[in-house]
């Protein structure tokens, strides 16, 4: 058999192939030759063949039949063989195949070889792909080599030890003695790898961390020497001496200084020195500055140093280099939680980054902008963010829209602004809005009672312009179905009312039904909307006709709806008005971002979610009936209050973290801890009631009253009138506690007579602090369409001095203005 062709020869040949097929043919031919050569157990050419196999493997062809050959090469005496053998092992073998364990003995022998380069090969292979079993078997050898005076081996052993610890953390202890003098080395390679090893150990074990804290002075000294020392040609990078080592030391200092005052103080000076003296003209200097800033922000540094760090980040933001800007935005995103005010100072620069051409920078800037939105800057920020939404790439639109909704919900300065913002998002990025934000938006609109006319008018106008964006169309059809009467009567107060006839409205809705642009879900929305208008409009016949046509629709959902609506007309016409009447105000049980499904605790539901059940429009009435039954039919209808403590304790930053989960920290708030707002932007634990939704409602000067005063618990009611709908009274309860002990697990429940509707929003807290140190507030909204005298039965439960207390009481002394 002729000698197998050489590696370079093969490469050259394969590169001449003009097509993929030609290449494949050559490769197959060569593989066949190599296979027969392997079968002949030829020692001479094994190395050459494996090398060729590795080349073909890189081109993407299978090479597993060479695995055992690699092992044979490793076992060979020849250095050339070992070199290729170990390379082949690292490329072709991995811990999933049992075959790799056969390497263990070879590696063990080679770790004790007389030639350091052979030892080096073994250490390298073990450190790159050693499995847990191999690591367990060979850890002892590695530990031995960690103590050798040969710096070439010592540095490799250190990183090999890091790998062993990563694979088998329990073995960490055995390397502890060997770390004793690692930092006294002069050799930079050993120093660097030692710092990496120490970092790994400190990250994994608090005990190790405590143990190694004593190294801080030594690390500071090494770092200082690096900075102060003169030019060292072998370690110099653009005037900086060994930046790799400097960065690793800074990183280790970060870990050692975190939550430890003494260590933090010991490193204060050197950090200040690095921060002020590092040359920033080249990337390498900025790399060190970046690491320094991260360290300063993480340890217990003094405030001057922190300000210095943030300012460095601010300067980074203005740097021409895109990488630096990107890195600055990333770091600011990390620090915005803890140093919010400092980051706010750079807000305008961050907002400018939204206009950057670079995609990565834009994304970071968007995330950071959302994190910086608060009640003070909401108008300005929203303008910028909406502008960004208009002009950004599609990949951003969904996230941006969600972020806008979230921010608007939290900080909307007025209802009208909120509705306008939603409209803007729907019309500009409507097709990218997430599907589950439609129910959220509908709920929001329902709750903004006095804005109904304005909202439906704007949505109608938007529909006239464009019916292609499904979320917009869905919300619009729902609103028209609900508030079509307001639209036609031209009642809008906020802007010039438009003149529109019933027929025009029905034209639009029917247009949605037939349009190719409408999805089945949208069609469902519009059919139900048309149906609802049958009780609000007078052109019932037209509606009847539409509904009966769709009784034979191919779409099963539409068909079902149409058939049922038809039945309503024919057989249950007497029930129709009641079924299709105006939706009551929906409760929100938990604050969810637009990206989560709204749980409306079953009482009310948006009338058109994809469901195969009978029109959910009937549900509210059914639910009300059920409750009455549960009570045994007395004339008081209790309302299930919003579930209390399982609210999101959403700090502003958390909720706006688009990348992470919208973390609803479940579980009741711990009993003794009063729900004091943290240093986060002033966002309290509860969702809606903290919103200044009620700020623009004129407090109509109704006098407050004391509803309950017993055993030290006093509950006052204050009133607001929700203009312009005079049927809704907004009552805020203020619970205070004059005893010496806190009242915990405080729950306030209320029930009103049948002719009223009551909505209880989430309380500010469930702990009423002792000695009148604070109050628990909760908002009650009462709908009183029949203007009857308001009566209320309240039930209070709380834990006081270890025992549970429960009390019932009637409240009859409402001032007449509250219900007239």
Partner 1 sequence: MIRFLLLFSRQGKLRLQKWFTPLSDREKKKVIRDMTTLVLPRPPRSSNFLQWRDLKIVYKRYASLYFCVGLEEQDNELLALEVLHRYVELLDKYFGNVCELDIIFNFEKAYFILDEFLLGGEVLETSKFAVGATMEEADTLQETMEEYMSKRAY
Cβ neighbors of 214 (< 8 A, separation 6 or more) are none
Alpha carbons within 13 angstroms on the beta-carbon side of residue 681 total 26
- What minimum distance in Å lies between the beta carbon of 478 and partner 1? 37
Q: Which of 144, 189, 315, 596 binds partner 1 (CB under 8 A)?
A: 189
Binding mask 157-176 for partner 1 (x = CB under 8 A): --xx-xx--x----------
If the CB atoms of residues 137 and 356 are measured against partner 1, the closer one turns out to be 356
Q: Counting contacts by CB under 8 A, is residue 152 touching partner 1? A: yes
Alpha carbons within 13 angstroms on the beta-carbon side of residue 792 total 28
DSSP for 140-181, please give it.
HHHHHHHT-S-HHHHHHHHHHHHHHHHH-GGGGGGGTGGGTT
If the CB atoms of residues 98 and 465 are measured against partner 1, the closer one turns out to be 98
- What minimum distance in Å lies between the beta carbon of 9 and partner 1? 10
- What minimum distance in Å lies between the beta carbon of 51 and partner 1? 6
Q: Counting contacts by CB under 8 A, is residue 188 touching partner 1? A: yes
- What minimum distance in Å lies between the beta carbon of 286 and partner 1? 6
Q: What is the C-alpha separation between 204 and 196, in angstroms, rounded? A: 12
Q: Which of residues 320-339 bind partner 1 (CB under 8 A)?
A: 322-327
- What minimum distance in Å lies between the beta carbon of 39 and partner 1? 17
Q: Counting contacts by CB under 8 A, is residue 77 touching partner 1? A: yes
Q: Counting contacts by CB under 8 A, is residue 317 touching partner 1? A: no
Q: Counting contacts by CB under 8 A, is residue 96 touching partner 1? A: yes
Q: What is the C-alpha separation between 72 and 106, in angstroms, rounded? A: 10
Q: Which of residues 239-298 bind partner 1 (CB under 8 A)?
A: 242-245, 247, 251, 283-284, 286-287, 290-291
Residue 419: name the closest of 462, 375, 468, 374 by CA.
462
Q: What is the C-alpha separation between 224 and 241, in angstroms, rounded? A: 11
Q: Which of residues 474-493 bind partner 1 (CB under 8 A)?
A: none
Binding mask 514-533 for partner 1 (x = CB under 8 A): --------------------
Residues 148-178: b if buried by 16+ CB within 10 A, e if exposed: eeebbbbbbbbbbbbbbbebbeebbebbeeb
Asked if 194 and 179 count as a contact pair (C-beta separation under 8 A), the reply is yes
Q: Counting contacts by CB under 8 A, is residue 115 touching partner 1? A: yes
Q: Which of 340, 346, 363, 410 binds partner 1 (CB under 8 A)?
A: 363
Helices (H), 430-498: 437-447, 452-465, 470-489
Q: What is the C-alpha separation between 240 and 219, in angstroms, rounded? A: 18
Q: Counting contacts by CB under 8 A, is residue 54 touching partner 1? A: yes
What the block records as the tokens of 203 is 């990250």
Binding mask 628-667 for partner 1 (x = CB under 8 A): ----------------------------------------
DSSP 679: S
Q: Which of 31, 215, 361, 685 binds partner 1 (CB under 8 A)?
A: 361
Number of residues that bind partner 1 (CB under 8 A): 78
Q: Counting contacts by CB under 8 A, is residue 318 touching partner 1? A: no
Q: Which of 148, 280, 344, 360 binds partner 1 (CB under 8 A)?
A: 360
Q: Which of residues 676-705 bind partner 1 (CB under 8 A)?
A: none
Q: What is the C-alpha separation between 753 and 788, in angstroms, rounded? A: 10
Q: Which of residues 12-31 bind partner 1 (CB under 8 A)?
A: 12, 15
Element (H, E) at 744: strand 743-753
If the CB atoms of residues 8 and 570 are measured against partner 1, the closer one turns out to be 8
If the CB atoms of residues 331 and 641 are measured against partner 1, the closer one turns out to be 331
Helix axes 359-372, 322-335, angle to 10 degrees: 30
Cβ neighbors of 686 (< 8 A, separation 6 or more) are 591, 647, 761, 762, 763, 764
If the CB atoms of residues 8 and 379 are measured against partner 1, the closer one turns out to be 8
Asked if 806 and 749 count as a contact pair (C-beta separation under 8 A), the reply is no
Q: Which of 265, 358, 436, 596 binds partner 1 (CB under 8 A)?
A: 358
What the block records as the tokens of 646 is 């399982």
- What minimum distance in Å lies between the beta carbon of 244 and partner 1? 5
- What minimum distance in Å lies between the beta carbon of 389 and partner 1? 21
Q: Counting contacts by CB under 8 A, is residue 745 touching partner 1? A: no
Part in contact with partner 1 (CB under 8 A); list of ranges 25-33, 94-102, 590-598, 766-774: 94-102
Q: What is the C-alpha separation between 294 and 288, in angstroms, rounded? A: 10
Q: Which of 60, 633, 660, 672 binds partner 1 (CB under 8 A)?
A: 60
If the CB atoms of residues 110 and 742 are measured against partner 1, the closer one turns out to be 110
Q: Counting contacts by CB under 8 A, is residue 61 touching partner 1? A: no
- What minimum distance in Å lies between the beta carbon of 488 and partner 1? 51
Residue 613: name the closest of 657, 575, 557, 554 by CA.
557
Residue 142 CA to chain centroid, in angstroms?
42
CA dist 376 to 272, 381, 401, 412, 695, Å? 33, 9, 21, 10, 15
Part in contact with partner 1 (CB under 8 A); list of ranges 9-17, 485-493, 708-716, 807-815: 9-17
């Amino acid at each position: 058999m002729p000698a197998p062709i050489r590696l370079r020869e093969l490469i050259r040949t394969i590169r001449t192939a003009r097509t993929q097929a030609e290449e494949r043919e050559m490769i197959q031919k060569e593989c066949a030759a190599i296979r027969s050569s392997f079968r002949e157990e030829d020692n001479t050419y094994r190395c050459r063949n494996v090398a060729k196999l590795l080349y073909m493997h890189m081109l993407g062809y299978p090479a597993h039949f060479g695995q055992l050959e690699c092992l044979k090469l490793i076992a060979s005496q020849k250095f050339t063989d070992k070199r290729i053998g170990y390379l082949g092992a690292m490329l072709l073998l991995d811990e999933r195949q049992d075959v790799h364990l056969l390497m263990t003995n070879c590696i063990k022998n080679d770790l004790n070889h007389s030639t350091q380069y052979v030892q080096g090969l073994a250490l390298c292979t073990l450190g790159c792909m050693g499995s847990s079993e191999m690591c367990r078997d060979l850890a002892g050898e590695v530990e031995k080599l960690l103590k050798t005076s040969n710096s070439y081996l010592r540095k490799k052993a250190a990183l090999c030890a890091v790998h062993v610890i990563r694979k088998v953390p329990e073995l960490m202890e055995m390397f502890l003695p060997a770390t004793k003098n690692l930092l006294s080395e002069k050799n930079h390679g050993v120093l660097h790898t030692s710092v990496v090893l120490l970092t790994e150990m400190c990250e994994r074990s608090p005990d190790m961390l405590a143990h190694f804290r004593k190294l801080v002075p030594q690390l500071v000294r090494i770092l200082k020497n690096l900075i102060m020392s003169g030019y060292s040609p072998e370690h110099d990078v653009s005037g900086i001496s060994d930046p790799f080592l400097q960065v690793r030391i800074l990183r280790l200092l970060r870990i050692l200084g975190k939550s430890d005052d003494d260590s933090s103080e010991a490193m204060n000076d050197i950090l200040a020195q690095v921060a002020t003296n590092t040359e920033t003209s080249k990337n390498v200097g900025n790399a060190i500055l970046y690491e320094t800033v991260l360290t300063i922000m993480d340890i217990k540094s003094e405030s001057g140093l922190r300000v210095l760090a943030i300012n460095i980040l601010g300067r980074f933001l203005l740097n021409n280099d895109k990488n630096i800007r990107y890195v600055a935005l990333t770091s600011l995103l990390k620090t915005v939680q803890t140093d919010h005010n400092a980051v706010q100072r750079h807000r305008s620069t961050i907002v400018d980054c939204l206009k950057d051409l670079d995609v990565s920078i834009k994304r970071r800037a968007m995330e950071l902008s959302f994190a910086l939105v608060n009640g003070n800057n909401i108008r300005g920020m929203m303008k910028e963010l909406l502008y960004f939404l208009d002009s950004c790439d599609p990949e951003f639109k969904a996230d941006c829209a969600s972020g806008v909704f979230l921010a608007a919900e939290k900080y909307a300065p007025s209802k009208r602004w909120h509705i306008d913002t939603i409209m803007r998002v729907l019309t500009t990025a409507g097709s990218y809005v997430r599907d589950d934000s439609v129910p959220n938006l509908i709920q929001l609109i329902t709750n903004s009672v006095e804005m109904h006319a304005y909202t439906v008018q704007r949505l109608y106008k938007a529909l006239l312009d464009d019916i292609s964006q499904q979320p917009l169309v869905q919300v619009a059809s729902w609103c028209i179905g609900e508030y079509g009467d307001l639209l036609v009567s031209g009642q809008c107060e906020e802007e010039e009312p438009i003149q529109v006839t019933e027929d025009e409205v029905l034209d639009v809705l029917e247009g949605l039904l037939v349009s190719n642009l409408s999805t089945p879900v949208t069609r469902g929305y519009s059919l139900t909307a048309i149906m609802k208008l049958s009780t609000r409009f007078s052109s019932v016949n037209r509606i009847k006709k539409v509904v009966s046509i769709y009784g034979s629709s191919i779409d099963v959902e539409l068909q079902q709806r149409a058939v049922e609506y038809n039945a309503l007309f024919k057989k249950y016409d007497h029930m129709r008005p009641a079924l299709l009447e105006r939706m009551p105000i929906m409760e929100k049980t938990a604050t969810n971002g637009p990206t989560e499904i709204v749980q409306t605790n079953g009482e009310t539901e948006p009338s058109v979610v994809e469901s195969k059940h009978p029109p959910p429009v009937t549900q509210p009435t059914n639910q009300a009936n059920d409750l009455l039954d549960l009570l045994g039919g007395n004339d008081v209808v209790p309302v299930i209050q919003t579930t209390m403590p399982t609210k999101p304790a959403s700090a502003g930053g958390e909720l706006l973290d688009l990348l992470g989960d919208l973390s609803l920290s479940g579980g009741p708030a711990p009993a003794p801890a009063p729900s004091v707002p943290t240093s986060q932007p002033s966002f309290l634990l509860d969702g809606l009631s903290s919103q200044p939704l009620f700020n623009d409602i004129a407090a109509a000067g109704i006098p407050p009253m004391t509803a309950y005063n017993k055993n030290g618990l006093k509950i006052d009611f204050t009133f607001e009138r929700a203009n312009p709908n005079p049927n809704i009274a907004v009552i805020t309860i203020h619970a205070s506690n004059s005893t010496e002990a806190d009242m915990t697990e405080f729950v306030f429940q209320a029930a009103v007579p049948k002719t009223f509707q009551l909505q209880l929003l989430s309380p500010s807290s469930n702990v009423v602090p002792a000695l009148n140190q604070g109050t628990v507030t909760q908002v009650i909204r009462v709908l009183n369409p029949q203007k009857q005298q308001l009566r209320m039965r309240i039930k209070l439960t709380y834990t006081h001095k270890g025992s549970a207390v429960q009390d019932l009481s009637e409240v009859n002394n409402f001032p007449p203005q509250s219900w007239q």
